[in-house]
Every structure is written in C-alpha cells, then in structure tokens.
Amino acid sequence: MSKVETLLQNWIASAEAKDVKKVTALLAPEVVVYSPFLENEVKGIREVMAVFSAFSQVTKDFHYGRYWIRGGSAVLEFKARVGDADIHAADIVEFNEKGQIVRFDILGRPASSLTKLGEAVKGYLDTLPNTLKAPEALLKN
C-alpha cells in the first residue's frame, strides 16, 4: 500500500466514524476547501472543521465508495442523503509532503440536492456560537 493510500484509508475511516480529533489531525494548518455550496473557499482548520461538522450533522447514510490515486492526490466517490435528497459526489484531495490534507475540492450532483445541502449546512452553522462559525460571507444564499 502506498503512503497516499494509507493516508486515504485513515481519512476514510476517520470521516466515516465522525472522529473529529483524527479528522483534524489529518488537515494541514493551511487547508483549503472548495465546495459547490460555498461562495468562496474555506481556509484554515477551524473554518474547515466548522463546515465539515455541519456537513456531518445534516447528512445521513454518508459513505465513501471508489477512489483513485495519482501522485499526492486522490479522488474519493461518496454518497449521502440530506433530508429526502440523495447526493452523489466526489472529493478531490491533495496531500502535502507531511501527509496532511492541504486541499479539498468537492463536486456533486444533482444540483437540487446540493442546494438542499447548502441550506442545511448554513442553517446548522447559524446555530453555532460565533467563535465556531465559518465566516458568513462564505455561504451562498
């Protein structure tokens, strides 16, 4: 098993178990996330974890499926549900030389499910104390 595949397996196990400590440990301090339901990128562990936590809270039946690795990057297919809407998506993940995730690009379909997901994530973030929220300007209305 390659180093990237080992890192990927650690990510999958931690994310599916919703293990916040292990997920956080896999992120580089400069991690950046790009998502179809965010207006701008999300930068830094605190902000990224706020969005990941919201995603974790508003989705159900989340699971990773197939994955592909090339160099220090990987694509992971995942499926989840938000309310009664199915989401079929992929994470494009880039690792640094220390084995930390430095970039996440999230792609998904159908658009109607992504809209529901964005609304649910925004609603969840609105319930958090200001010290835990991702910056409001990041979320699309």
Q: For the segment 19-69, what is each residue's pLDDT rounded down to a tens digit?
A: 889 999 999 999 999 998 887 899 999 999 988 888 999 999 999 999 999
> What are the φ/ψ torsions at residue 70 (nearest 5 degrees)?
-145, 115
51/43 Cα distance (integer angstroms): 11
Contact by Cβ (8 Å): 28, 49: no
Give the pLDDT of residue 61. Answer: 94
pLDDT tens digits, 62-110:
999 999 999 999 999 999 999 999 999 999 999 999 999 999 999 999 9
* Residue 116, H or E segment: helix 111-126
69/72 Cα distance (integer angstroms): 8
Contact by Cβ (8 Å): 67, 8: yes
Give the pLDDT of residue 10. Answer: 94
Contact by Cβ (8 Å): 104, 34: yes
39/32 Cα distance (integer angstroms): 13
Give the pLDDT of residue 132. Answer: 52
Percent of the chain beyond pLDDT 90?
A: 65
117/135 Cα distance (integer angstroms): 17
pLDDT band at 134 (very low <50, low <70, confident <90, very high): very low
Note the pTM of the prediction, 2 decimals. 0.85
25/14 Cα distance (integer angstroms): 10
6/80 Cα distance (integer angstroms): 23
